């Protein structure tokens, strides 16, 4: 998994069970490698750069101090690998979801570790991604085989449910969800296309992407979407859904992508 820490550093969860942070300008690793103990499955960095959150194959979500690389708190009790994590824009909450027959999603205070939603954890089978809306009032989960849902961050109430349609059909190392900057539209990636849902109007539209067979990962800065599939990445305007420029190619299959906050780095 990959994420940006501001516009100057990139963070990666690696196959050797470590998390590393690099400075982009001089390519130097910052601080010691964070040792997870399990394979990394998902990663997020808070907007203020203070926190790194990891989800791992060992059914845990962990908050790390980004400066000291010390463990701040740990969330357990999941029934499968934690395949989606995100941090709210005000840097106070973590949402984490797992891939399992129950597929729970839970929200915690990032410093207190306290569970914030009332009642039992939200159940959405085989979660592949979670994402807070830009204002933090809602969050979305997407399943491998059970579509996507939008919930209230306040009480966990379901605000939108796609049913079994628009499932992610993806692997656990990609991010198939992105919000528009106004929080009114949700983009869900599936093989061969991206679907844009207008949540308030319960309407949708989709467009074909550059690759129809490979699994898709997307990232967005609210203005454009970066979409990886196979060995290439295409860029798309969030409003017009028109492609921007030509495809960016890579020598190997791309598993995950991230955009820096300013949109200058991919």
Residue 186 forms part of a structural domain: no
Q: Please choose, from the candidates 103, 111, 114, the residue with its C-alpha nearest in 3D space to the C-alpha of residue 141.
A: 103
Q: Can you spell out the DSSP letters for 80-93? A: S-EEEEEE-TTS-E
Residue 199 forms part of a structural domain: yes
Residue 169: its pLDDT value, please? 52
Helices (H), 63-121: none
Residue 165: its pLDDT value, please? 60
Q: Which two tokens stand for residue 39?
A: 């394979």
Sign for the pseudo-dihedral over CA of 261, 263, 264, 266: positive
Residue 211 forms part of a structural domain: yes
To the nearest whole percent, how much of the chain has pLDDT over 90?
A: 67
Residue 61: its pLDDT value, please? 95
Q: How confident is the model at residue 174 (pLDDT cuts 50, 70, 90)?
A: low
Residue 166 has pLDDT above 60, yes or no: no
Find the length of the chain.
266
Residue 48 forms part of a structural domain: no
Whether the CB-CB separation of 80 and 104 falls below 8 Å is answered with no
Q: Please choose, from the candidates 136, 129, 125, the residue with its C-alpha nearest in 3D space to the C-alpha of residue 101.
A: 125
Residue 147: its pLDDT value, please? 84
Average predicted confidence (pLDDT) for the chain: 90
CA dist., res. 119 & res. 206, Å (int): 35
Residue 202 has pLDDT above 90, yes or no: no
Q: 230-250, pLDDT tens digit by residue? A: 999 999 999 999 999 999 999
β-pairing verdict for 9-13 and 243-249: unpaired
Residue 162 has pLDDT above 90, yes or no: no
Q: 103-145, pLDDT tens digit by residue? A: 899 999 998 999 999 888 888 888 889 999 999 999 999 987 7
Q: How many separate domains does the chain show? A: 1
Which is higher by pLDDT, 147 or 30? 30
Residue 160 has pLDDT above 80, yes or no: yes
Residue 172: its pLDDT value, please? 44
Q: How confident is the model at residue 171 (pLDDT cuts 50, 70, 90)?
A: very low
Residue 228: its pLDDT value, please? 93
Residue 158 forms part of a structural domain: no
CA dist., res. 139 & res. 98, Å (int): 15
Q: Please choose, from the candidates 100, 201, 182, 91, the residue with its C-alpha nearest in 3D space to the C-alpha of residue 141.
A: 100
- The DSSP output letter for 169 is -
Residue 173 has pLDDT above 70, yes or no: no
Query: What is the separation of C-alpha 146 from the centre of its chain, rounded to a whole number of angstroms?
Result: 18
Q: 53-87, pLDDT tens digit by residue? A: 999 999 999 999 999 999 999 999 898 999 999 99
Angle at 46 between CA 43 and CA 48, to 5 degrees: 155
Which is higher by pLDDT, 95 or 121? 95
Residue 138: its pLDDT value, please? 96
Q: Can you spell out the DSSP letters for 239-261? A: TT--EEEEEEE-SS--------T
pTM of the model: 0.92
Average pLDDT of the segment spanning 82-95: 96
What residue numbers bound the domain in which 237 lies? Answer: 193-265
Instruction: Report how far apart, in Å, the C-alpha atoms of 193 and of each of 167, 211, 231 are.
Output: 12, 8, 16
């Amino acid at each position: 998994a990959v994420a940006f820490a501001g516009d100057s550093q990139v963070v990666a969860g690696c196959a050797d069970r470590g998390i590393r942070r690099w400075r982009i300008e001089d390519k130097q690793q910052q601080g010691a490698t964070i040792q997870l103990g399990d394979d990394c499955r998902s990663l997020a960095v808070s907007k203020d750069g203070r926190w790194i959150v990891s989800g791992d194959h060992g059914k845990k979500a962990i908050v790390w101090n980004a400066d000291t690389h010390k463990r701040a708190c740990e969330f357990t009790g999941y029934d499968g690998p934690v395949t989606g994590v995100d941090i709210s824009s005000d840097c106070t909450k973590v949402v984490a979801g797992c891939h399992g027959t129950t597929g729970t999603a839970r929200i915690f205070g990032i410093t207190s570790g306290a569970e914030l939603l009332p009642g039992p954890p939200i159940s959405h089978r085989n979660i592949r991604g979670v994402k807070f809306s830009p204002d933090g009032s809602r969050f979305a989960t997407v399943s491998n085989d059970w579509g996507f849902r939008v919930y209230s961050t306040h009480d966990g109430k379901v605000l939108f449910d796609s049913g079994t349609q628009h499932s992610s059909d993806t692997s656990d190392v990609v991010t198939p969800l992105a919000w528009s900057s106004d929080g009114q539209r949700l983009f869900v990636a599936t093989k061969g296309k991206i679907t844009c849902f207008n949540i308030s109007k319960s309407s949708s539209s989709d467009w074909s992407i550059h690759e129809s067979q490979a699994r898709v990962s997307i990232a967005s800065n609210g203005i454009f979407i970066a979409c990886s599939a196979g060995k290439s990445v295409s860029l798309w305007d969030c409003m017009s859904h028109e492609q921007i420029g030509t495809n960016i190619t890579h020598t190997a299959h791309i598993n995950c992508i991230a955009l820096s906050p300013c949109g200058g780095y991919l």
